[in-house]
Amino acid sequence: MTKIDVTKIPKKRLYTGEEIPCIGLGTFGSDRFSSEEVSNAVAGAIRAGYRMIDCAACYGNEAEIGEVFRQVMEEGTVERKDLFVMTKVWNDMHGDGDVLIALAKSLKDLKLDYVDLYFLHWPFPNYHAPGCDVDSRNPDSKPFTVERFMKTWRQMERLVDLGLARNIGMSNMTIPKLEAVLPLLRIKPVACEIELHPCFQQQELFDYLVAHDIQPVGYMPIGSPRRPERDMMPEDIADLEMPKLQAVAKAHGISPATASIKWAVQRGQIPIPFSLHHYTENLECVTTEPLTEEEMASIATLERGNRLVKGQVFLWPGAKDWHDLWDEDGVIVK
């Protein structure tokens, strides 16, 4: 088994001063891979040198991943303080007191006393059953409102007070939503997890987060080639097939996937690639020769508005289509 020298993995500094790894491992099995396959990858990845793991209650595999955390600590591969474990509260647990219950369940499953970062997975309380069809709608779904969001965020802040979450973060946010809530927060998010890959760079949102000292965490960093069928649309672009990305990869003798990861880390987001088979090379690539300025500039031109998680299942009665979730005209769509 290849083991990467953990001290060679670059770090990012949160606004709290804490240093965290520049790359993590995703754990969403995309409705294709069993909890056992994913947790085996988590075990292999930690033994290879990963220290940051991105979990979520809705991925349905926290109990198996928790067993891995127990094992790697028991065998002495890591101590608890070496790991940076992130998880997320799902959309059906935004109600009064529910966020605490949701985190308690994740902690029990993950076999931990605290998480390092707890994300609000989506900014609205719109539940849909795991694996449901893109056309399914929950009649109880509601649009984002500042009031509803803040009720949930206050519960998130309490988790920090209680020491159950060392940090809190947001996910799937937009600039208009951030503008509306940031002035109201007692505890600011340390990070915001959003979709980021070469053909979907969200430059404006990325810059906004950096300017506000909120660390961007990039999901689907490889363009999620094996995402669930329900998230595949005919208009989607395969990032890995972009000739400019392939040219950069070729120049370094690496794959377009690892070129995407190197680009992500050098740009400044924390990528969280999922992988059952390539996790070692994905970690190793952040320790090898960097992309040149020209190569970074070349990948910067690949922006195509290629949003892969459109979020149709979160639409509320009266919403037009998935574009409504993303406030594309600069105002919050209600």
Ligand X SMILES: NC(=O)c1ccc[n+]([C@@H]2O[C@H](COP(=O)([O-])OP(=O)(O)OC[C@H]3O[C@@H](n4cnc5c(N)ncnc54)[C@H](OP(=O)(O)O)[C@@H]3O)[C@@H](O)[C@H]2O)c1
Residue 55 has φ and ψ, to the nearest 5°, of: -110, 175
Q: Tell me whether residue 279 is one of the annotated catalytic residues.
A: no
Distance in angstroms (rounded) separating the CA atoms of residues 8 and 272: 18
Q: Residues 226 to 255: which contact ligand X by CB under 6 A?
A: 226-227, 255
Q: Give the footprint of ligand X on residues 36-65 (CB under 6 A).
A: 54
Q: Does 223 sit near ligand X (CB under 6 A)?
A: yes
Q: Is 278 in the site for ligand X (CB under 6 A)?
A: yes
Instruction: Please indicate if the annotation marks 323 as binding a ligand.
Output: no
Q: How far is the CB of 285 from ligand X (least distance, A)?
A: 8
Ranges of beta strands (E only) in 149-285 are 168-171, 191-195, 215-219, 270-271
Radius of gyration of the chain (CA): 19
Of the pair 34, 96, the CB lying nearest ligand X is at 34
Please check whether residue 332 is in contact with residue 278, taking contact to mean a CB–CB distance below 8 angstroms: no
Residue 277 vs 320, nearer CB to ligand X: 277
Angle between helix 256-267 and helix 243-252 axes, rounded to 10 deg: 90
> At 15, is the secondary structure helix, strand, or coil?
coil
Which residue sits closest to ligand X, CB atoms considered?
A: 26
Establish if 224 lies at the interface with ligand X (CB under 6 A): yes
Is residue 144 part of the contact set for ligand X (CB under 6 A)? Answer: no
Distance CA 313, CA 9 (A): 37
In this structure, the strands spanning 19-21 and 11-13 are antiparallel
CB of 76 to ligand X, least distance (A): 26
Indicate the residue among 186 and 250 with the shorter CB distance to ligand X: 250
Q: Does position 219 bind ligand X by CB under 6 A?
A: yes
Query: Burial, 170: exposed, middle or buried (Cβ in 10 Å; 0-12, 13-18, 19+)?
Result: buried
* Residue 181 CB neighbour total at 10 angstroms: 18
**Residue 28 contacts residue 60 (beta carbons within 8 Å):** no
Q: Which is nearer to ligand X, 9 or 222 (CB)?
A: 222
Of 25 and 181, which CB lies nearer to ligand X in the complex structure?
Answer: 25
Stretch that binds ligand X, among 7-15, 23-31, 105-113, 202-210 (CB under 6 A): 23-31
- Could you say whether residue 12 binds ligand X (CB under 6 A)? no
Q: Which of 123, 223, 160, 150 is nearest to 18 (CA)?
A: 160
In the list 64, 67, 116, 281, the residue contacting ligand X (rule: CB under 6 A) is: 281
Site for ligand X in 290-309 (CB under 6 A): 309
Q: Is 144 helix (H, G, I), strand (E, B) or coil?
A: coil
Pick out the residues of the known binding site for substrate. Answer: 121
Site for ligand X, rule CB under 6 A: 26-28, 30, 54, 121, 171-172, 193, 219-227, 255, 257-258, 272-278, 281-282, 309
Pick out the residues of the known binding site. Answer: 121
